[in-house]
Amino acid sequence: MSEAVLEAHNITRRFRIDGGKTLTACENVSLSLYRGRTLGLVGESGCGKSTFMKLVMGLDKPTGGEILFRGKDIAKMRGKEMHEMRQHIQMVFQDPSSSLNPKMKIRDIICEPLRNYGRIKHAEKKDAAADLLEMVELPSEFADRYPENMSIGQRQRAAIARAIALEPDIIIMDEATCSLDVSVQKSIIGLITRLQREKNISIGFICHNLPLVQSFAHEIAVMYLGNVVEVIPGADISEKSLHPYTKALLGAVFDINSDRERKIECIKGEPPSPLNIPAGCPFCDRCEHFTEKCRSEKPMLKNVSENHKVACHLYGGNLEK
Amino acid sequence: MRLLTINDLDVSYSGALTVSGFSLSLGQGEICSIVGESGSGKTTVIRAVLGLLPVGGKVTAGSITYDGKELPTLDKKQWHELRGHDISMIFQDSGAMMNPTRTVGATFVEYIRAHEKIPKKDAWSKAAEMLTKMRLPDAGRIMNEYPFRLSGGMRQRVGIAMGMTYQPKLLLADEPTSALDATTQAQIVREMGELRDEYGTSIIIVTHDLGVASYISDRIIVMRNGRIEESGDRDTILHRTENEYTKMLLDAVPTLGGERFV
């Protein structure tokens, strides 16, 4: 496997909320981003996937753990150091209509990071913008447009152009394709993977659409209630996944190729509130294979084979212990 | 007789033709999906059926016949008898349809008493019974909650419970599961299929999710730029289509174990 660009170790983020309660958004999350590879982070709303990526971006500080980037802990960076680090980790947001300033022209939007870090002079903006637009397959005359005069797919391309402007090591994409129509979505994924190959970028992709994320992620981490429950190579998820929650997610996928008689598998109930996480396995209340041990002891993430980790008492030697 | 027949429907917003030449024929107990990308006019069609076009929207040509009645010509009183009784609608987020300052129970009771003259107490128990039927645990507690205190899946079940109170013959659903998580979506889609089996309800679902459409529908209508691109039974559209646009759409849907980009 290629070198790790960023390593998060035992990241925990708790929020104190009214009434003295504590909300645990992430608990002991350890994940790495590798050069030129995509980590897909999947899970349902409130599972902590966006919180984790925010911590990676340095937009929020963890309660515990460390995030190592180039040997330094992002969580401890401040001021100038943080500013310097930011140029290496860029972000693409879900909704390009609100992440692009409607009063700025596309040229100014995509060149803003370059200007902020003094990489180009004002006079060089025109050429820089043309280059960036070419990379994201937009016509160069779009430089003079405002976001509102572009389709939503074109806007997302502009947002990607802004993210790659500084040639970052890492790009974090938070549901970057979920507001797009399927045909546009496909072309954006094609673009992202092409740029990744050309520039060897590491991508952290948050997504709730499992079929989509497995189509281009090298590695997928499944989160449930703030915990990573399974880490598996993207190509293997539909065949080799083991955790009951991952299987439940796969069972809930409506696939256009599946025959009608296939029954959609539903797990019962809804995730418990993150204010009130069960003491043992977070998934125990909804799990079919649940035993007494699941309630009392939390399963740790363990290797079941190379590159495949599961946090479940059923697998990976968790049982013998 | 078909339950709902739409013939050559044109809808305009402030003079601009948004939907043109839309036709559909729906029998009892049939489930039909309208799929298409954003701006294809799919929501406009079902809004037109229920006479709920936004300001400026107008049916300019064609007919919508429900159970022998010509819908666009109905007056206020006739609409009141149909809406929420014979024809119900479920929205993308049922929470947004309810008044946030009132409890689910208060809204539900008001809804029931708008349709039949019964005491509040009876309406309350009728509502609670409907919630239980829609598999909402602890209906009594939910009746006393405000919509925003419920999860998306629970709100959607409340919306479906309200819509199903009078066992409508026709249920219109506008992206009913788009705002939900995968596992909740699976539950709701399955429950909607069961409504048809149990009550013989005909359902029109507007969705951009071809996976959901392929699971639940008998028939699928593909829309593009306000027109029907193709329509046919589920298997024809999914497996034997000749239409280039439909093929392109199906091809773009990511599938498990399908095309990989890396």
pLDDT digits (tens, 9 = 90+) for B108-161: 999 999 999 999 999 999 999 999 988 888 898 999 999 998 888 899 999 999
- Give the mean pLDDT of chain B: 92
Q: Is the pLDDT of residue A320 over 50?
A: no
Phi and psi at residue B239, to the nearest 5°: -115, -20
Q: Is the pLDDT of residue B63 over 90?
A: yes
DSSP letter string, B142-211: HHTS-GGGS-HHHHHHHHHHHHHTT--SEEEEESTTTTS-HHHHHHHHHHHHHHHHHH--EEEEEES-HH
Q: How far is Cα A132 from Cα A166, in angstroms, rounded to an integer?
A: 10
Res. A262 pLDDT band, cuts 50 70 90? low
Query: What is each CA distance from A26 to A13, A133, B127, B233, in whole angstroms?
Result: 5, 37, 39, 46
Mutant choice from A191, A239, A255 vs B, greatest count of B C-beta within 10 A: A255
Which stretch of DSSP H or E encloses residue A224?
strand A219-224
> If you average pLDDT over residues B50-70, what whole number do you get?
93
Distance in Å, alpha carbon of A75 to nearest chain B alpha carbon: 31
Q: Where is average pLDDT lowest: A268-272, B47-51, B210-214? A: A268-272
Mutant choice from B42, B255, B259 vs A, greatest count of A C-beta within 10 A: B255
> If you average pLDDT over residues A182-210, what whole number do you get?
93
* B194 vs A contacts (CB less than 8 Å): none
SS3 B49: helix
Distance in Å, alpha carbon of B105 to nearest chain A alpha carbon: 22
| B249, B255, B259 member nearest A255 (Cβ) | B255
Q: How many CB atoms lie within 10 A of CB B247?
A: 12
Q: How far is Cα A38 from Cα A40, in angstroms, rounded to an integer?
A: 6
Mutant choice from A49, A182, A214, A238 vs B, greatest count of B C-beta within 10 A: A182
Q: Is the pLDDT of residue B252 over 80?
A: yes
Asked if B152 lies within 8 A of A212 by C-beta distance, the reply is no
Tell me the one-letter amino acid at A274.
P
Distance in Å, alpha carbon of A104 to nearest chain B alpha carbon: 25
Domain extent listing, chain B: 1-86+170-253, 94-165
Res. A319 pLDDT band, cuts 50 70 90? very low
Q: CA nearest A179 in B: which residue? A: B38
* B185 vs A contacts (CB less than 8 Å): 252, 254
Asked if B262 lies within 8 A of A218 by C-beta distance, the reply is yes
Asked if B256 lies within 8 A of A216 by C-beta distance, the reply is no
Cα first-last separation, chain A: 30
Q: CA nearest B218 in A: which residue? A: A260
Q: CA nearest B177 in A: which residue? A: A254
What would the pLDDT profile of A206-230 be if each residue is shown by its tens digit?
998 999 999 999 999 999 999 999 9
What share of chain A in percent tops pLDDT 70? 97
> If you average pLDDT over residues A238-249, what whole number do you get?
92
Size of interface A-B (CB pairs under 8 A): 114
CB A254 within 8 A of CB B189: yes
* B209 vs A contacts (CB less than 8 Å): 254
Assess B21–A contact: CB distance below 8 Å, yes or no. no
CB B223 within 8 A of CB B35: yes
DSSP state of A300: P
* B259 vs A contacts (CB less than 8 Å): 215
CB A13 within 8 A of CB A209: no
* B210 vs A contacts (CB less than 8 Å): 182, 256
Q: What is the pLDDT of residue A219?
A: 95
H-state helical runs in B33-165? 42-49, 76-82, 94-97, 104-115, 120-133, 139-143, 152-164
Q: And the tokens for B7?
A: 């013939």
Asked if A264 lies within 8 A of B215 by C-beta distance, the reply is yes
Q: Is the pLDDT of residue A246 over 60?
A: yes
Q: CA nearest A209 in B: which residue? A: B182
Q: CA nearest B210 in A: which residue? A: A256
What would the pLDDT profile of B150-190 be if each residue is shown by its tens digit?
888 899 999 999 999 999 999 999 999 988 888 889 988 98
Which stretch of DSSP H or E encloses residue B19?
strand B16-26
What share of chain A in percent tops pLDDT 90? 71
* A264 vs B contacts (CB less than 8 Å): 186, 189-190, 215
Closest CA to A74 of A92, A53, A93: A53
Q: How far is Cα A63 from Cα A75, in angstroms, rounded to an integer?
A: 9
Distance in Å, alpha carbon of B39 to nearest chain A alpha carbon: 10
DSSP state of A282: T
Asked if B185 lies within 8 A of A252 by C-beta distance, the reply is yes
Q: Is the pLDDT of residue B248 over 60?
A: yes
Domain extent listing, chain A: 4-88+168-310, 96-167
CB A58 within 8 A of CB A4: no
Tell me the one-letter amino acid at A35.
R
ipTM of the complex as predicted? 0.84
- The domain B1-86+170-253 is placed in CATH, from the list 3.40.50.300, 3.40.50.2020, 2.40.160.100, 3.40.50.720, at 3.40.50.300
Q: CA nearest A218 in B: which residue? A: B262
Q: What is the pLDDT of residue A45?
A: 85
What would the pLDDT profile of A91-139 be if each residue is shown by its tens digit?
999 889 899 999 999 999 999 999 999 999 999 999 999 999 999 999 9
Query: What is each CA distance from A138 to A161, A199, A245, B256, in whole angstroms?
Result: 10, 18, 40, 30
Q: Is the pLDDT of residue A311 over 90?
A: yes
Q: Which residue has the higher pLDDT, A306 or A39?
A: A39
Q: Positive or negative CA dihedral for A49, A53, A54, A58?
A: positive
> A137: number of CA atoms within 13 Å, CB side?
12
* A265 vs B contacts (CB less than 8 Å): 186
SS3 A170: strand
β-sheet bridge partners, residue A13: A26
| A189, A248, A260 member nearest B261 (Cβ) | A189
| B254, B261, B262 member nearest A209 (Cβ) | B254
H-state helical runs in chain A? 49-57, 79-86, 96-99, 106-116, 125-135, 152-164, 182-199, 210-214, 237-240, 244-251, 292-296
Q: How many CB atoms lie within 10 A of CB B103?
A: 17
Asked if B249 lies within 8 A of A182 by C-beta distance, the reply is yes
CB A175 within 8 A of CB A138: no
Measured CB to CB, residues of chain A less than 8 Å from chain B are 38, 44-45, 152, 181-183, 185-186, 189-190, 193, 196, 208-212, 214-218, 234-235, 237-239, 248-258, 260, 264-267, 270
Tell me the one-letter amino acid at B36.
G
* CATH architecture of the domain with residue range A4-88+168-310: 3-Layer(aba) Sandwich (3.40)
* A201 vs B contacts (CB less than 8 Å): none
Q: How far is Cα A85 from Cα A74, in angstroms, rounded to an integer?
A: 8
What would the pLDDT profile of A133-187 be if each residue is shown by its tens digit?
999 999 999 999 999 999 999 999 999 999 999 999 999 999 999 888 999 999 9
Q: What is the pLDDT of residue A1?
A: 64
Q: How far is Cα A117 from Cα A94, in angstroms, rounded to an integer?
A: 25
In total, chain A counts a number of residues equal to 321
